[in-house]
Structure 1
Amino acid sequence: MNILIINHFDSFIYNIYDIFRRTNNKIFLINYKLKNNNIIKIIFYKPLICIGSGQGGIKKYKTTFFYLKQFYRHFKFLGICLGHQIISSFFGFIITKANHIVHGKKVKIILNKKIFFNFPKSIFVIRYNSLIAKKIKKITSKIIAFENKTKEIMIIYNKKFNTVSFQFHIDSIFTYKGLMIIKKFLNNYV
């Protein structure tokens, strides 16, 4: 499988690249700003597209929204952190300030057993974010896992378009079985 990672020039990009490298797939890293070059690569490689983490809010990443709008019906997408917020916003969620800003904090999340049937009921993950997605209307094509105490959305899975996003960093060594989570979605859902 070809995996194309959209690089938003965030220091976590190296961790994201490394965790995908460990899945034994072909990895390509693209600069989110180079729209014309990237469109050619996307069409040629027919990849799973990973929208990686980045700094600041989603509004400054219009080109990444363009890729999602153009290709979500044709290619699989996986979002991490900022990528989660971009995918969430695209599918009708509102992005807002988190009740509690978390940078490098371990939190426990509850997993949806429909997706995570071979995992514990809850796991510890690492979060680095001050923004979150909030559900603003009934969106039926989503399966959502929530954080225990605050009920902040941590995972969105769009079954119709086979798109998944994680607010937490699955690439962190402190996220419980991050590599296993990636492999699960590569093997079973995308």
Structure 2
Amino acid sequence: MPPVKTKVLFVDNFDSFTYNLVDEFGKRNCDTVVYRADTPLDELKKVAGKFQPVLLVISPGPGTPDKAGVSLEAIENFQKNLPIFGVCLGHQCIVQHFGGKIDHAPAVMHGKPSRISHNGKGIFAGLENPLQAGRYHSLCALSVPDSLEQTAEYDGIVMGVQHKTLPIFGVQFHPESVLTPTGGKIIENLLQIANSYQTQNRTPDRRNPAR
């Protein structure tokens, strides 16, 4: 029998990179469904109840977390039942949701590589340090709230976060970019974490991530 595919639910913040990211998950035996950020939360909850994803991905996009449609609501709703991964704007949404501040970055970075340092744990396990990462952003996290741990940085700028007790991860850079050569390994680490979480936590009373 073919291996069971990992189900991933995407929130698309109207970004041209979203389907590049979807493709990277598809290459790693994932079954993905994509809903635009203007989807009402109730509809997203119904989708999750039927599709039964093991991971929610909040995509990159233009603008600020406050203008990222259902993204902040989705983090609030799914945070205790589903691993969450935020990329660029999605990362900023995670930081803001848990109490951090988002504002203008010291410099606008669109399609530029940086060598970022990381803690070598979680989604960064087994990766070179520092690693090259493709950056496309004009905003960044100015502070990390107590519930999150900073996992990566470049020149004092927050490049990655992880929740201290929940499987919630964010990266400011783009793992799907050609400027991030080891981005695929980050996604593989993430999927391993998400699948392990499902195995350990999907008891009969916790099978519906939309609860």
TM-score (norm 1): 0.92
Q: Which amino acid aligns with 2:173?
A: F
**CA distances 1:6-45 after superposition (whole Å, capped 9, x unpaired):** 1111111121111111110111111221213222011222
Contact 1:142–1:158 (Cα < 8 Å) also in 2: yes
Residue 52 of structure 2 corresponds to: 46
Residue 136 of structure 1 and its aligned partner are, at CA, apart by 5.5
Residue 11 of structure 1 corresponds to: 16
1:43/1:159 Cα in 2 relative to 1: closer, same or farther (>3 Å)?
farther
Could you tell me which runs of 5 or more consecutive residues in structure 2 were left unpaired when the two chains were aligned.
Answer: 1-5, 198-211
| Correspondences of 1:70-81 after superposition (within 5 Å) | 70-81=77-88
Q: Which amino acid aligns with 1:172?
A: S
One of 137, 141, 154 as aligned partner of 2:159 = 154
Residue 94 of structure 1 corresponds to: 101
Same amino acid, percent of matched pairs: 28
Residue 140 of structure 1 and its aligned partner are, at CA, apart by 5.0
Matched, 1:83 2:90: yes
Residue 100 of structure 1 and its aligned partner are, at CA, apart by 1.0
Matched, 1:106 2:80: no
SS in 2 for 1:41: helix
One of 11, 26, 45 as aligned partner of 1:21 = 26
Residue 114 of structure 1 and its aligned partner are, at CA, apart by 3.2
CA distance in 2, matches of 1:59, 1:135: 17
| Correspondences of 1:105-184 after superposition (within 5 Å) | 105-115=112-122, 116-135=124-143, 139=146, 141-147=148-154, 150-184=155-189
**Residues 8-17 or 94-103, more deviating:** 8-17
Q: Which amino acid aligns with 1:34?
A: T
Greater strand proportion: 1
Q: Which amino acid aligns with 1:16?
A: L
Aligned residues: 187
Contact 2:125–2:189 (Cα < 8 Å) also in 1: no
Q: Which amino acid aligns with 1:175?
A: T
One of 37, 44, 49 as aligned partner of 2:43 = 37
CA distance in 2, matches of 1:59, 1:141: 19
Q: Which amino acid aligns with 1:41?
A: V
CA distance in 1, matches of 2:135, 2:63: 15
